[in-house]
Amino acid sequence: MRYTYPRPRQVGIKIPVHVKEDRFCAGFEHGLKGGQLNHVEYFRLSFREGYRAAKLYLRYLRRQQGLLEFPVQGRMKFKLH
């Protein structure tokens, strides 16, 4: 199933003048999908700013829905003697 993610302008985010719009939008979509910054081209300024805007937008949406934080997930090791 293909998901459609909103564009930055559709959710009210203004794209800064000093960044490239196509890279900003690509970073925004990558951030909404839950992607990580693990490629060299993801570290360009325009992409990073779009990625950051997506993460802030997701935090805003979660707070509106009442989900403040995800529970902490940890691992525990037990040894039985």
Q: Note whether residue 7 is domain-resident.
A: no
Q: Note whether residue 50 is domain-resident.
A: yes
Q: Note whether residue 6 is domain-resident.
A: no
Q: Model-level pTM?
A: 0.80
Report pLDDT digits (tens) over 32-80: 999 999 999 999 999 999 999 999 999 999 889 887 776 777 887 888 8
Query: 17 is written with which tokens?
Result: 């003048």
Q: Note whether residue 46 is domain-resident.
A: yes
Query: 7 is written with which tokens?
Result: 């564009």
Over range 9-15, report the average pLDDT.
94
Number of domains into which the chain is organized: 1
Q: Note whether residue 38 is domain-resident.
A: yes
Q: Note whether residue 28 is domain-resident.
A: yes
**Which residue range forms the structural domain that includes residue 48?**
17-64
Q: Note whether residue 51 is domain-resident.
A: yes
Q: Note whether residue 2 is domain-resident.
A: no
